Amino acid sequence: MEFVERYNGSGLLIEVEKILYEFKGVQHIQIFQTKSFGKMLVLDGKIQLTEKDESFYHEMLVHPAMLMHENPEKVLVIGGGDGGAVREVLKHDPKEVVMVEIDENVVKACKEYIGIDRGALEDPRVKVLFEDGLEFVKSCKDKFDVIIVDGTDPNPISQALISSEFYRDCAKICDYFVTQSQSPFAQPDYFKSIYKNARFKNKAVYLGFVPTYPHGLWSYLIASDRREIVLDLNVIKERFENRKIETVYYTPEVHISAFALPRWIVNLIS
């Protein structure tokens, strides 16, 4: 059996051994056992993660912003129902993590059939809320050191999470904000929309490699209305070592180099 994700006249084919779980609710959730990539989560036909390379994505989403902050004690994760982002956040030993996920079924299915959170969602420092991220941020009175948006490809459920309104509300309540920003190669329109709508005083794009995402090249946007986007290797290395963080993909050197953009991407956002 084969699973194919298609995008713009191309696609990725993955050999599947069996379907472990399927449910249609807020989203169409599928969990597969694949031949080469371990378990795989698919939402509305789009690959969200495979066991083999999910750390490539989650580490690059989480650690740059967390390490730019000198003491990230309170963190908000929007989306991230598989628990991978929260797992990485906890490596920084924060005092409180709030995860806001719109689809409770994603959390339940991932806990039962995949388990990449490795118990993170049961940690007493973690509060999981099942509600709309846009509405949560709009009415939120709390302040966070870091906000991390781990959303799906823009669709009727997640489209609001790339709106200028959402970014404006996030900017009011955090020191650093980071979101995945799609593939600039396979999804340039989405990428440009995210960059344009994120009207923070300071913002920067950085890149990572995730083999099972469209064409492998993935992007992230870090931003702040309160802080500079400072890239100091010595500072990042010191914080990384002091926090005793273990990773598969991320290193402080990868962190710094990820912000060096190819000319064609600079041109997309100029």
Ligand-binding site membership of 159 (annotated): no
- Interval 153-164: pLDDT, tens: 877 777 888 999
Question: Where in the sequence numbering do the catalytic residues fall?
Answer: 150
Measured CA to CA, the distance from residue 41 to residue 80 in angstroms comes to 12
- Interval 124-169: pLDDT, tens: 999 999 999 999 999 999 999 999 999 988 777 778 889 999 999 9
Ligand-binding site membership of 70 (annotated): no
Which superfamily, per CATH, for 54-269?
Vaccinia Virus protein VP39 (3.40.50.150)
Residue 8 has pLDDT above 90, yes or no: no
pTM of the model: 0.97
Per-residue confidence (pLDDT) for residue 152, from 0 to 100: 86
The ranges assigned to domains in the chain are 2-50, 54-269
Class assignment of domain 2-50? mainly beta
Evaluated on CA atoms 198, 264, 261, 66, the torsion sign reads positive
Measured CA to CA, the distance from residue 191 to residue 188 in angstroms comes to 5
Ligand-binding site membership of 58 (annotated): yes
- Interval 184-229: pLDDT, tens: 999 999 999 999 999 999 999 999 999 999 999 999 999 999 999 9
Collect all residues with Cβ–Cβ distance below 8 Å to 145 and sequence separation of at least 6: 69, 71, 72, 73, 74, 75, 94, 174, 175, 176
